[in-house]
Chains A and B, each alone.
Chain A
Amino acid sequence: MPEMGFVQQLGIGALMTIKVAVLSYLLALAIGTAFALVTLRRRLVVGFIWQVYASIFTGVPSLLVAFLFFYAGSGIVASLASLVGLTVTVDISPFAAAVAALGMVYGAYLADLIRSAIQNVPPGQFEAAKVLLVPQPATWLLVILPQVLRLALPGMTNMWIVVMKDTALISLIGLKEIMAYAKLASGVTKEPFIYYVLASVFFLGMTWLTYFVSRRIESWSERGYKPVVKQEPAHAL
């Protein structure tokens, strides 16, 4: 039987996992959307910055990025600050390093996803909005975004699951999330199976919850489209 004290700790860890995953994903969405929008039109400087960013953060494993941020983060911030003439000393917490690493890595993936979704909105939609004199912000928000959402949702759902599962790796930089507590509990009780199974059940539960919610959102985003063949979302990785 699992001991209640350890189970309680797993619960605290699970909350931390959710917190890191949600914040990382929001950061990734922000970075992804920003890069998607600025790289829509091919401009030399922006394109170059994006190439460098994408090759670093899709090329280096997310765990390594987290290590770099955690161990070298304060150095990076200090040297960046000294460029503009400031002296800054910051301690990078495992939490901040984890969110920054996952957010920046998956932001690179989301940028490609969101950009291709925008490019797949028929150009006639932009033209119709233009000739109807609809202001640009309203066009993006009310005409383009709903259609982008519909196109990008399946990929975004998968990405969310990947981000959530990747938080398990981040325990290695000392973040007290569910994986760290499962490891601790199995070390103390010498019953690794129970606690790792509990942790697995948590991730499974989160994944199923995601599928349930995403199907709801997807069918909402598909309002107005003829029901095509209903496809189950493909499992992530």
Chain B
Amino acid sequence: MNAVTQIAVPSPVRRETPAAVAISIRKLNKFYGGFQALRDIDLEVGQGEIVILCGPSGSGKSSLIRCINHLEQHNSGTIRVNGTELTHKASDVAQVRRQLGMVFQGFNLFPHMTVLANCTFALRLALRLPAAEANDIAREYLARVNVQDQAAKYPSELSGGQQQRVAIARALCLKPSIMLFDEPTSALDPESVGSVLRIMEDLAATGITMVCVTHEMGFARRVADRCVFMEKGEIVEEGTSDRFFSAPSTARLKAFLQQVL
């Protein structure tokens, strides 16, 4: 298979053809030992599109998102990010990761570094920017997520919501064109969830591409261009957020929505 034919395959459920494809996944399979976590996944994400992945736990949503930035190695199938095919070669992995920002469920901030140092770390070590320039960029993004006043503090001194916003700022500092969110609000108390979701909504409005695993159905409805429902390692149904929530076509999605809404 070559690049051209892959991208040209039309996705039947897409409401409109996006200008360009940001992420293209074809026949993706992922095994953990004998357990198949992902089964023949086909997914295309257009540039600027907001795609929400949802489904019961163990359905493979996180595995899928982690395969995209090679935190998990896929066993077969292809993943293309902005045209670069993700192989297991270090140079390909680096080139793909350069396009992606990742936000984890558990924040994964560096606990021994201040908030500012967390944000400048990659700028200085991966992009080799001088300290002053890195600080400027970091402060800009910290202000965008409303934690500029906490720059000198350590992560443990912040609330969960603030920590997750720092994590978002840290990812944005590298100016990725695609943001991946792996259940960004699942580890947060209900009060903090709102602050993080607001930041993500603001971010969605900037035209960045987003793939987000979440259980926040209200957020999905408001923000998503497209929702994807997964179960047992397969994509069961996908559609525009209107149709997804108001007129689900599969029984499994209907049952799922009844439980979570």
Contact between chains at B104 and A224 (CB < 8 Å) = no
Q: Which residue of B lies closest to A141 (CB)?
A: B125
A139: nearest chain-B partner, CB-CB: B125
Of B71, B94, B156, B170, which is within 8 A of A224 by CB? Answer: B156
Assembly CA distance A150 to B154 (angstroms): 16
Q: Is B174 an interface residue (CB 8 A)?
A: yes
Bound complex: CA A224 to CA B116 (Å) = 13
User: Knowing A124-B104, A132-B174 touch, does A224 contact B154 (C-beta < 8 A)?
Assistant: yes
Q: Which residues of A contact B157 (CB under 8 A)?
A: 226
Interface residue total, chain A, C-beta cutoff 8 A: 22
Docked-complex contact A128 and B155, CB < 8 angstroms:
no
The reply on A134 being an interface residue by CB < 8 A is yes
* Inter-chain contact A134/B126, CB cutoff 8 Å: yes
Of A127, A130, A134, A225, which contacts B125 at CB under 8 A? A134
Check A122 for interface membership: any CB of B closer than 8 A: yes
CB distance from A64 to the nearest CB of B (A): 41
Q: Does A125 contact B (CB under 8 A)?
A: yes
CA distance A131 to B108 in the complex (A): 11
| A131 pairs with B71, CB closer than 8 A | yes
Determine the distance from Cα of A224 to Cα of B114 in the docked complex, in whole angstroms: 7
Residues in A with CB closer than 8 Å to B126 are: 132-135
Chain B residues near A127 (CB, 8 Å)?
A: 71, 102, 104, 108
**Docked CA distance A132–B117 (Å):** 13
Residue-wise, chain B 117-139 has the 8 Å CB interface mask toward A (1 for contact) of 00001100111000000000000
Binding site for A on B (CB under 8 A): 69, 71, 94, 97-98, 100-102, 104, 106-114, 121-122, 125-127, 154-157, 170-171, 174
25 contacts between A and B (CB under 8 A): A122-B106, A124-B106, A127-B71, A127-B102, A128-B109, A131-B69, A131-B101, A131-B102, A132-B121, A132-B126, A132-B170, A132-B171, A133-B98, A133-B122, A133-B126, A134-B121, A134-B125, A138-B125, A142-B125, A147-B111, A224-B114, A224-B155, A224-B156, A225-B111, A226-B156
